[in-house]
Amino acid sequence: MNDYDRIARVISYLDENHIEQPTLAQLAERADLSQHHFHRLFSRWAGVTPKGFLQCLTLSRAKEALEAGESVLDAAFNTGLSGPGRLHDLCVNLEAASPGEVKSGGEGWTIRAGFGESPFGTCLIGVSPRGICHLSFVESKNRHTGAVAIEKDWPLARIDWDDDPAGVVDSIFAKPTDSNDRSPLKVFVRGTEFQVRVWRALLQIPRGSLTSYGRIAESLGDRGAARAVGSAVGRNRMAYLIPCHRVIRETGIFGDYRWGKTRKKALVAWESPSQS
């Protein structure tokens, strides 16, 4: 069992037993660790104590993050959504496929694909001639299943498997430090005009901040489009780089996530300001 598996077990246990408010001893037992090693796990994985990490998962903390995020997002959205997004000191340049490129389905392309390990489990990454075209969390390193996932967007592309793309995963999930030397990442997606607008809006949500579907709809000029925004968020197949995990309901409830609600909570807590 790796670090993330233990973290996921603890978060799932909290979801099932939040009314009883489990003690740290009970949570350590759930992770199959002594209390001492439980503390070491969180210090290594999250950079904080278990208590500090668990506070990030409370409803009240989520509501505070939503309120605090409003002023930050106002400034970000007011600068426009056409520029590159900032992601923990990493510049993400999002390019959308043209109708012709969508129609071609990647014909003539070679997509380099590989698996890498992140703080949230195994990742599948695909790199096309236009940039990163796929990033997802997966349960196994099965190449056939991975190819099927990539081919949903680029059915006519050739897929070459190698270890090089996996190195990109390390840079994507590196914790921010003053010494980090981050190069811009090109992300290439296919989607409708509205979906791409929503995904560009997601790039404006700073690390450690949260927003709601309604707030994004408002930033796009249509407060009544919250449900359509939710649908576009759910269609995002670029895990983490297009940070749909930073969108929750206005009530503070985390809501669904393509790669699992438990993983979404782990991502939000890992990015919390108290973690940096």
Which residues are catalytically annotated? 244
Show Cβ contacts of residue 62 under 8 Å, excluding neighbours closer than 6 positions.
Answer: 210, 248, 252, 253, 254, 268
Q: Give φ, ψ of 165 to 5 degrees.
A: -60, -25
Max Cα-Cα span within the chain: 58
What's the DSSP call for residue 82? S
Q: State the Cα torsion 41-45-49-55 to the nearest 10°.
A: -120
Contact 210, 249 (CB under 8 A): no
What string of H, E and C letters represents the secondary structure of 211-251?
EEHHHHHHHCCCHHHHHHHHHHHHCCCECCCCCHHHEECCC
Residues contacting 29, CB < 8 A, separation 6+: none
- Helix (H) / strand (E) containing 124: strand 121-128
What is the arrangement of strands in the sheet containing 158-161, beginning at the earlier edge strand?
85-87, 90-96, 185-189, 131-137, 121-128, 110-118, 158-161
